[in-house]
Amino acid sequence: MEKKPDTHIFDYKTLAAVLCGLLILTAITVGVSCVDFGKLNVWIALFIASLKGSLVLLFFMHLKYESRVLVYSFLSTLFFLGIMISFMFWDVGFR
Amino acid sequence: MSSHSDESGKKLGMWLFLYTEIFLFGGLFVLYAVYFARYTSEFVAGGKELDQLFGVVNTVILLISSFAVAASITAVQRNQQKRTLAGLGVALICGLVFLINKYFEWSHKVANDIFPGSEKLAEGPEGQNIFFGLYYMITGLHSIHIIIGMVLLLVSLVCVKIEKITPTRFALLENSGLYWHLVDLIWIFVFPLFYLVV
C-alpha cells in the first residue's frame, strides 16, 4: 500500500546509510575518472551522478514518500528538460 | 486538517520553484555539453588545471551538510529541538567551509592569470576561454545559491530556537532543506563535469 504523504519520517540510520552510499559513489566516480575509457568516461560520470542525484531526491528530499502531484510534476520537469537537451543536440548536430 | 493542506501547499510551491532552478542550471549544462562536444581537447586540458582535491572535499562537505539538514527534519518531527539545531548548525558550518574552499580555489586561479577577461585566456585557445568562462559562471551561480541556502537555514535555525518552527508546523525548515538539497544536487553534476573530465 502507498504510504500517506507527510506522515513518513526517515530514521537517522536510513539517512546515514544514504550518506554512506553517496560517499562511496563519490569515491567510485573519482576512481573511474583515473581510468581512460575514451568517450565512455563522460557517460559513466553522468550515470554515477544520476545515481547520486536519485538518492538525494528520493531520501534527502523525501520524494520516495511524497504525493503523486509532486512525483509526477517532478518527472514531467525531467521530461521537458530532456526535450530541451535533445532538441539542442538535434539542432547543433545537423547544422 | 486545514493546517495540513496548508503545509503541503507550501511544499508544492517550493517544488515548483525548484523546477525553475533545474532549468536555470539545465540550460547552463546544455551550453557546457555543446561546447564540450566542439572543444573536447581544450575542455580536458582545462579540467586538468582544476584542483581535483578541492572538488572532492567540497563534494564530501555538501553531502554531509545535506545529511545534517535531512537529520534535522527528522529531529524536528520527533520534537528533538537540540538535535534539530545541531543538524542546522553543522550544515551552516559545512556551507561556510565550502565557500572558504571556493575562495582559495578561485584566488589561486586568479593568481595564475585565469579569470574572465584575463590576458592568458584572451590570447589562449578559444575552447580554454569558454571552459573557464563556464567554470566561473556555473560555480559562481552555484556559490550564490549556497549563500542564499545558508541564509534560509539560518532563518530556520532562529525560528526553531524561538519555537516558531514546531513538530507540527515546520514548512519553513522543510522548504529551506529542499533548497539546500537542490544546491547539493546541482553540485553532484557540476563536480564530474568540471573536475573529472579526462
pLDDT tens string B85-109? 999 999 999 999 999 999 999 999 9
pLDDT tens string B118-153? 999 999 999 999 999 999 999 999 999 999 999 999
Q: Which residue of A has its CA nearest to B11?
A: A70
Interchain contact, B34 vs A89, CB within 8 Å:
yes
A61 CB neighbours in chain B (<8 A) are: 178, 181-182, 185
As a whole number, mean pLDDT of residues B177-193 equals 97
pLDDT tens string B59-81? 999 999 999 999 999 999 999 99
> Is residue A1 one of the residues assigned to a domain?
no
Contact B82, B157 (CB under 8 A): no
Answer yes or no: is the ipTM higher than 0.85: yes
- CATH number of the structural domain spanning residue B89: 1.20.120.80
Return the C-alpha cell found at A28: 567510485
- Residues A54 and A87 reside in one and the same domain: no
Q: Is the predicted pLDDT of residue B4 greater than 60, yes or no? A: no
The number of domains in chain A is: 2
pLDDT at B1: 46
pLDDT at B6: 76
> Whole domain around residue A48: which residue ranges?
10-61
> Is residue A30 one of the residues assigned to a domain?
yes
pLDDT at A5: 47
Q: Which of B30, B183, B190 to mutate to test the interface with A (most CBs of A within 10 A)?
A: B30
Query: Digits of tens for pLDDT over chain A (95 positions)?
Result: 444 445 789 999 999 999 999 999 999 999 999 998 888 999 999 999 999 999 999 999 999 999 999 999 999 999 999 999 999 989 988 88
The b/e string for B106-124 (b: 16+ C-beta within 10 A; e otherwise) is beebeeeebbeebeebeeb
> Whole domain around residue B77: which residue ranges?
2-195
- Residues A14 and A46 reside in one and the same domain: yes
> Is residue A16 one of the residues assigned to a domain?
yes
Interchain contact, A45 vs B196, CB within 8 Å:
yes
> Is residue A31 one of the residues assigned to a domain?
yes
Interchain contact, A45 vs B192, CB within 8 Å:
yes
CB-nearest partner of A33 from B8, B181, B196:
B196
- Residues A22 and A46 reside in one and the same domain: yes
CA torsion through residues B34, B40, B46, B47, sign? positive
Q: Is the predicted pLDDT of residue B45 greater than 70, yes or no? A: yes
- Residues A18 and A55 reside in one and the same domain: yes
- Residues A56 and A14 reside in one and the same domain: yes
Contact B128, B42 (CB under 8 A): yes
- Cα–Cα distances (Å) from B43 to A38, B141, B188, in that order, read 14, 20, 19
Nearest of B8, B18, B22, B23 to residue B176 by alpha carbon: B18
- Residues A47 and A72 reside in one and the same domain: no
- Residues A15 and A57 reside in one and the same domain: yes
3-state helix, strand, coil in chain A (%, to 5): 75, 0, 25
B37 CB neighbours in chain A (<8 A) are: 92
pLDDT at B198: 72
Between residues B2 and B56, the one the model is more confident about:
B56
Nearest of B178, B188, B190, B183 to residue B69 by alpha carbon: B178
The number of domains in chain B is: 1
> Is residue A5 one of the residues assigned to a domain?
no
- Residues A44 and A18 reside in one and the same domain: yes
- Residues A14 and A55 reside in one and the same domain: yes
Q: Is the predicted pLDDT of residue B115 greater than 70, yes or no? A: yes
- Residues A80 and A94 reside in one and the same domain: yes
> Is residue A3 one of the residues assigned to a domain?
no
- Residues A21 and A52 reside in one and the same domain: yes
pLDDT at B197: 86
